[in-house]
Structure 1
Amino acid sequence: MVERILTLHQLSLRDTDPMALVHTAAATGFPFVTVFLHPPAPQLDIFPRLLPGAPTRAFAQALRADGVQVHNIEALPFSSRTDPADYLQVLDHAAEIGARRTTVLIYDRDLARASDRLSQTCDAAAARGIALSIEFMAFSSLSTVGEAADFVRQNGHANLSLLVDPLHLARTGGSPAQLGPLADTIGALQFCDAMLATPEDAFREAVEDRAIPGEGELPLQALLDATDPGLPLDVEVPMLRLQKQGLDPVARAQLLKRALQHYRL
Structure 2
Amino acid sequence: MKERLFSLAQLVALTRTPPQLLALAARTGCDGAGLRLLPSAPGGVHHPLMDDAPLLRETLAVLRDTGMRVFDLEVVRIGADFRLAHWQRFLAVGAQLQARHVLVAGDDPDEARLIEHFGALCDAARPFGLTADLEFMPWTAVSDLKTAARIVGAVGRDNAGLLIDALHFSRSSSTLDEVAALPPAWLHYVQVCDGAVPGPATVEGMIFDARCERLLPGEGAIALQALLARLPAGLPVSIEIPNEARARAMGHEAWAASCVQAARRVA
Do both share a fold (TM > 0.5)? yes
Shift of 1:178: 2.3
Q: Where does 1:42-121 land on structure 2 (aligned, <5 Å)?
A: 42-43=42-43, 45-50=44-49, 51-121=51-121
Q: Would you say 1:214 and 2:218 are equivalent positions?
A: yes
Shift of 1:18: 1.5
Q: Distance in 2 between matches of 1:231 and 1:261?
A: 13
Percent identity, aligned pairs only, is: 29
Equivalent residue of 2:194, what SS? coil
- The amino acid that maps onto 1:47 is H
Name the counterpart of 1:229: 233
Q: Distance in 1 between matches of 2:56 and 2:45?
A: 19
Q: Would you say 1:189 and 2:193 are equivalent positions?
A: no
Alpha-carbon deviations, 1:134-169, whole Å to 9, x = none?
000112111010111011001101100100001001
Q: Distance in 1 between matches of 2:195 and 2:19?
A: 28
Native 8 Å contact 1:24 1:249 kept in 2: no
Structure 1: tracts of 5 or more residues without a match: none
Native 8 Å contact 1:183 1:227 kept in 2: no
Native 8 Å contact 2:192 2:263 kept in 1: no
- The amino acid that maps onto 2:67 is G
Name the counterpart of 1:180: 180
Q: Which moved more, 1:112-121 or 1:99-108?
A: 112-121
Give TM-score scaled by structure 1 length. 0.94
Name the counterpart of 1:132: 132
Q: Distance in 2 between matches of 1:54 and 1:120?
A: 31
Native 8 Å contact 1:193 1:214 kept in 2: yes
Native 8 Å contact 1:13 1:239 kept in 2: no
Equivalent position to 2:261, from 255, 258, 262? 258
Equivalent residue of 1:121, what SS? helix
- The amino acid that maps onto 1:7 is S
Name the counterpart of 1:148: 148
Native 8 Å contact 1:17 1:49 kept in 2: no
Equivalent residue of 1:42, what SS? coil
- The amino acid that maps onto 1:232 is P
Native 8 Å contact 1:52 1:93 kept in 2: no
Name the counterpart of 1:244: 248
**Alpha-carbon spacing, 1:107–1:197, altered in 2? closer, same or farther (3 Å):** same
Native 8 Å contact 2:194 2:215 kept in 1: yes
How many corresponding residue pairs?
Answer: 262
Name the counterpart of 1:170: 170
Q: Which moved more, 1:189-198 or 1:45-54?
A: 45-54
Native 8 Å contact 1:35 1:49 kept in 2: no
Structure 2: tracts of 5 or more residues without a match: none
Shift of 1:48: 4.0
Native 8 Å contact 1:135 1:164 kept in 2: yes
Native 8 Å contact 1:18 1:49 kept in 2: no
Q: Distance in 2 between matches of 1:154 and 1:23?
A: 39
Shift of 1:260: 2.6
Q: Distance in 1 between matches of 2:261 and 2:109?
A: 40
Shift of 1:49: 4.2
Native 8 Å contact 1:41 1:77 kept in 2: no
Equivalent residue of 2:104, what SS? strand
Shift of 1:104: 0.5
